[in-house]
A = this chain, B = another copy of it.
Amino acid sequence: MEIKNAVTLLSSIAQEARLEIFRLLVQSGRQGLAAGVIGVKLGIPASTLSFHLKELSQSGLVNARQESRFIYYSANYGAMNQLLQYLTENCCANEVGCCTSVLQCEE
């Protein structure tokens, strides 16, 4: 991944309302949620929500699909994985025991 792309992805979730939306979608699985449901669940006015959903889908971290009158938004797990991968690549200068748990330096 290119650094500019990583910045775009990070910027799309470096904002409280958008991170709330993203976390909700990450937990909601592949089906996702309709825009209106997200708005009600998080108490965000429609136009503000629309602005944030646009940011998230333009970055690529969230997918949108029309289904009858609703637009379903869902987390793009692949993009998320690539971002986490990018952040952890080549870490720790090969020091022993530097990284643990989620972050796996060398595979």
Q: Is the CB of B103 within 8 A of A77?
A: yes
Q: Is the CB of B29 within 8 A of A92?
A: yes
Q: Is the CB of A87 within 8 A of B92?
A: no
For the complex, would chain A's binding face be called helix, strand, loop or mixed by DSSP majority?
A: helix
Interface residues in A, total, Cβ within 8 A: 39
Residues of B within 8 A of A16 (CB): 3-4, 7
Residues of B within 8 A of A91 (CB): 26-27, 75, 77
Q: Is A30 in contact with chain B by the CB < 8 A criterion? A: yes
Q: Which residues of A contact B (CB under 8 A)?
A: 3-4, 6-7, 10-11, 13-16, 19-20, 23, 26-30, 75, 77, 80-81, 84-85, 87-88, 90-95, 98-104
